[in-house]
Amino acid sequence: METFERHESNVRSYVRAFPEMFVSAKGSRLVGRSGRSYIDFFAGAGALNYGHNDEGMKRRLLDYVAGDGIAHSLDMATEAKAAFIERFHRVVLAPRGMAHKMLFPGPTGTNTVESALKLARKVTGRKKVVSFTNAFHGMTLGSLAVTGNAFKRDGAGLPLNDTFFMPYDGYMGEDFDTLAYFAQTLEDGGSGLDLPAACIVETVQGEGGINAASMAWLRRLQDICRRWEMLLIVDDVQAGCGRTGTFFSFEPAGLDPDIVCLSKSLSGYGLPMSLTLVKPEYDRFAPGEHNGTFRGNNHAFVTGTEALRFWEDDGLEKEVARKAETVRAGFARIAGMAGGLAPELRGRGLMQGIALNSGEAARAICTEAFRRGLVLETSGPDGEVVKCLCPLTISDEELRQGLAILEEAFATVAAGPVRTAA
């Protein structure tokens, strides 16, 4: 640890929460130098939905590397890229009736968001983009401008302009119709809201506190976008690739977004890769108008193609639904014994959290859990939500063990002297 303390920037963060030198990982487990094995309920912040070092993906990657397959290619044609595009079209887009074009931006989540915002502004000729309270879309300036978190925004050092925040579903309490407010501001010439180019939304807010919008709310948001000819951008960077149970998180709502942002688990192996899906009528960048050196991560195409085997049938979907119930039941049991922390269950699929009345308590629970061999993180504006992002492929036994550790950690903190905000 001394190496990191001495040489690495102060900005490092997860290394502080998980003070262990990790040496290997398999499936839902991480192994530290001490030989200690940890259950992983963090899964690379959603980048490892299929677990660590999946055998099938590893084999394909090793063969590709051993055969001197192209590693880097910008956006030149490679067989690895063609194979990914074809399988993604056949397994994901075509069965869902999606005619979207595939735009490959730089390799990260914020790269796909930047491309989406830029394209929406170009297509509509308008500047403003509406995003929602507690949204998180990335750390580069455009993405940060549609991100709610004040601490992260302050880091920009510049005005973050041309965005407008509307209350997310539930933000004003259960009985407040947040979209009625949004719709009214659009109708009313005195609201001060210039007609936006687009709305960008997460169906479940990952970093913002595992807030899940209702399907009805999402459908109405789409209706509002259609009525005012604003593009609907779904940021599925964290909630996509099966995290909520279906490949795209918006499937149960029946949405037809104009632009979809994907990254994190797209390569399936933790390799950097992202993809912006764009309806053909909005595919309006001129050749090279948006680019990036690392759009062609062929190793990610190889593992990403293999990862799509999980979507050839509905096996994984069913598994996620079943495990989501296990998490829900485990969380309900935990919530029942942590009354003083005012626990509230949030999320859907394998993207669930327990919101508490204290960020300090949530952090203490994660620290306790880590001491007991479970890696998991907090989210929310004050870090007050303990969140479970276990691999979708986790075994029943590991899921049960992880929940048992979490229960112990909760019991320890709930019984202890941690100060609560209430």
CB of 61 or CB of 241, closer to ligand PMP: 241
Residue found by looking up tokens 């309490």 in the block: 173
Q: How far is the CB of 46 from ligand PMP (least distance, A)?
A: 7
Q: How far is the CB of 47 from ligand PMP (least distance, A)?
A: 8
The residue of the chain with the least Cβ separation from ligand PMP equals 109
Binding interface with ligand PMP (CB under 6 A) = 45, 108-110, 113, 136-138, 202, 206-207, 235, 237-238, 263
Distances (CA, A) of 75 to 68, 287, 297: 18, 11, 9
313 Ramachandran zone, left/alpha/beta (phi>0; psi -120 to 50): beta
Q: How far is the CB of 239 from ligand PMP (least distance, A)?
A: 7
Q: Which of 170, 162, 163, 165 is nearest to 204 (CA)?
A: 170
CB of 294 or CB of 337, closer to ligand PMP: 294
Q: How far is the CB of 154 from ligand PMP (least distance, A)?
A: 18
Q: At what angle do helices 396-415 and 359-371 cross, to 10 degrees?
A: 130
CB of 212 or CB of 405, closer to ligand PMP: 212
C-alpha 30 chain-centroid distance: 21
Q: How far is the CB of 143 from ligand PMP (least distance, A)?
A: 6
Q: How far is the CB of 201 from ligand PMP (least distance, A)?
A: 10
Q: How far apart are CA 354 and CA 86, in angstroms?
A: 39
CB of 335 or CB of 351, closer to ligand PMP: 351
DSSP letter (8 states) at residue 229? T
Find out whether 351 and 239 touch, Cβ atoms under 8 Å: yes
Q: How far apart are CA 393 and CA 52, in angstroms?
A: 10
CB of 148 or CB of 330, closer to ligand PMP: 148
CB of 178 or CB of 205, closer to ligand PMP: 205
